[in-house]
Amino acid sequence: MKKSICMLGCAMIGVLAACSSDSAFKPADPALVAAAEAAVITPTEAPSPQIVQRFANELRILDETGMMRETIKDADGSMWYCQGIYNEDQPGKPAILVFLHGIGERGDENLASIRLAVPDIVKQIKDAKQKVILLAPECPSSQLWAPLHRGGAGAKLTEKPAQALGLVPVLIQKKIKEFNADPDRVYITGLSMGGYGTWDLISRYGTDLFAAAMPCCGGGDPAQASEKLKDLPIWIFHGGADPTVPVMLSRRMYTALKEAGNDDVFYKEYPGVQHDCWTQTYRNPEAWKWLFSQKRGIKSDVRPEQGDVVKVTQEEFESAGGFGGGRGGRGQGQGGRGGQGGQRGQGQGMGQGQRPQGQGGFGGQGMGQGQRPQGQGGFGQGMGQGQRPQGQGGFGQGGFGQGGQRPQGQGGFGQGGFGQGGFGQGGFGGGMMPGGQGGFGGGQGGQRPQAQQGPRSSVNTISDIQTKFPEEYKEAQKLRQTDPAAYRAKLRDLQGKLTAAN
C-alpha cells in the first residue's frame, strides 16, 4: 500500500512538472489560446514598384535586419507585422520582444513600422547575444494603437483595445507555439503612440502575458496601477522637455505604481530632451540588460539606478485635462482640426501654457520645433485656428488640413508636416527635403526628384522569395508547423539564391 501511494505521489509530481514545463507561471488565457488557434498567418504580398520607390529606406532596413513581412488575420480583421529571429545558435527557448511604433509610422504597406528604432533594437539584441523573436506590428493609417490622451478623463482605459492592438496578444500566443518560445520571457516596448499602446496592453494583461515592459514617452491610466500592473517590472522613459506627450503622464504612472506597491518600476527622465527619448534609450545596453534579465515569477537582481522623480498627484493629473479640456479651454470660433477655422481666443490653446492669439494647439510648441507666425499652426501651435494663407492649412505648415489649395510641394508629412519640417526636424526621421518634395516619402504635393529616391536595395523578403521561387517556397511552407528550424533554414537558402539572382 505504501509503495502504491509512493508511486502515485511520484506520478503526480511528474504530471505537475510536465504541466509547468512550458511556464513557471499561470497557464495562458484559454480564450487567447483559442483565438491564436483560429488566427491565420500568411506572407505579405510583394511590394509594388511604386511602394519600392517610396519605401527604399525601409526595404534597406528590412534587408539589413533580416526581417520578414507577414500578416495575421482573424474574424475581426488583420494586422501586418515584420518579424526577425536573432541568435538562433544560443541555447534555450527564444524570448519574444514586441515593438510598437509611433504615429508617424502608421501605414498600409507593412514597411513603415521599422522606420524608426528597429535597427538600434536589432543591434542591441545581437550584441547581447539574446535568442529573440522580434515582432514589429504596423498600425493601419486609419487607426491608433490607443487614445492619445493628455491626462484627465481621457486617460481611462477603454473597454476593448483598438482592432489592430487587440491582435498583438493573439500574434504573441501564435509565435509562442510556432517557435516553442519561452512564455515567461515575453517583453514589450513602444515609443510615443507605441508608448500609449504599451501601457494599454500591459494594463489589460500584466503578468498574465508579459515579463516586463519599457514604455517610451507614452501615457496610461493610473487607475490600473493596482490591478494588472502592480507586479509587472516596468522601466519608464521620457524626455523632460517633451512638447508632444507631456512628461507628467509618465511621472504620474510611476507615482501611481509606487503607491500601489510595485517595487519593480523604474523611471528615467532625460533633462532637456524633447520628444525623442527613444534613441538614447534603445542604444543603451543597460536598458536591454535589464529587460532581458526579467522572467515571470522570478525576481531579477538587475536594478537600474533610480534618481529623484517629480511626483504627480491624481488631482494634478486629472486637472491637466484632455484634448480641449482642463487647463486652457478652447476659445470661440475653434475651427477644425487643420480646417478652415475661425479665430481662437487669446492664449486659450489645448494644452498647458499661455499662447498668443491664434496659436493654441497641441501643447507647447507642437509636435515639431520652432515658433510659427499667427495662422500657420497645425498640429503644433494651433490646430485649425485663425485664417491661413493659401496652402498652409492643416498639420503643420501646408500639412494635413484644408485651408485653401496648396502650392506644389507644400502639403503632406514631409516639408511642412508635423511641426517644423515634419515630425521633429526635416520630416519623419530624415533630413530636410527640398521644395517640391513634401509628402510622406514621395510627396503629397509635388514629386520627389529622382535623385532623392535612392537605389533599390536587394529585397530579400519572404514575399520576394514567394514571387521568384514559388515551388520551393511552397515546399518550405510545408515545414513551417512540423519543423520550424528546417523551415527557417530553407528560407535562408532561398534568400541566398535571391541575392545571387539579383
pLDDT tens digits, 63-93? 999 999 999 999 989 999 999 999 999 999 9
Q: What are phi and psi of 65, to 5 degrees?
A: -90, -10
Q: What is the CATH number of the domain that holds 150?
A: 3.40.50.1820
Size (the chain), residues: 502
Q: Are 257 and 229 in contact (CB under 8 A)?
A: yes
Is 396:409 a contact under the CB 8 Å cutoff?
no
In a domain, 128, yes or no: yes
The predicted structure's pLDDT at residue 489: 75
- DSSP code per residue over 170-192: HHHHHHHHHTT--TT-EEEEEET
Assigned C-alpha cell, 456: 533599390
Q: Which domain holds residue 497?
A: 469-501
pLDDT of residue 376: 35
Candidates 113, 68, 65, 121; CA nearest to 97 is 121
Domain end: 277, 296, 317, which one?
A: 317
The reported pLDDT for the residue numbered 362 is 37
pLDDT for position 465: 76
Domain end marker among 317, 333, 364: 317
Count up the domains in the chain and report the number.
2
| Residue located via cell numbers 494603437 | 145
Contacts of 431 (CB under 8 A, 6+ apart): none
Q: HSE on the CB side for 293, CA within 13 Å?
A: 16
Residue 169 lies in a domain: yes
Q: Write out the three cell numbers for 152.
A: 484627465
In order along its 502 residues, the chain shows pLDDT tens digits of 544 445 444 444 443 443 444 555 667 789 999 999 999 999 998 889 999 999 999 999 999 999 999 999 999 899 999 999 999 999 999 999 999 999 999 999 999 999 999 999 999 999 999 999 999 999 999 999 999 999 888 899 999 999 999 999 999 999 999 999 999 999 999 999 999 999 999 999 999 999 999 999 999 999 999 999 999 999 999 999 999 999 999 999 999 999 999 999 999 999 999 999 999 999 999 999 999 999 998 999 999 987 778 888 888 888 765 433 223 333 333 333 333 333 333 333 333 333 333 333 333 333 333 333 333 333 333 333 333 333 333 333 333 333 333 333 333 333 333 333 333 333 333 333 333 333 333 333 333 333 333 333 333 456 667 778 888 877 877 776 567 667 777 877 787 777 677 6
464 lies in some domain: no
Q: Which three cell numbers stand for residue 406?
A: 496648396
Residue 233 pLDDT? 98
pLDDT tens digits along 199-254: 999 999 999 999 999 999 999 999 999 999 999 999 999 999 999 999 999 999 99
For residue 49, give the C-alpha cell. Answer: 514598384
Domain presence at residue 109 = yes
- Rounded to the nearest 10°, the torsion over CA 196, 199, 204, 207 is 150
One-letter amino acid of 395: F
Q: Which of 440, 246, 253 is nearest to 352 (CA)?
A: 246
Strand intervals (E) in 256-386? 265-270
Any domain includes 422 = no
pLDDT at 337: 35
DSSP SS3 for 234: strand
User: Model-level pTM?
Assistant: 0.66
Predicted confidence at residue 240, as pLDDT, reads: 95
Say if 199 falls within a structural domain: yes
Residues 6+ apart with CB under 8 A from 48: none
Residue 297, CA distances (Å) to 185, 207, 292, 366, 383 in order = 10, 9, 14, 42, 47
Q: Are 163 and 80 in contact (CB under 8 A)?
A: no
Residue 210 lies in a domain: yes
Please say which residue of 283, 317, 351 terminates a domain: 317
| 191: in domain | yes
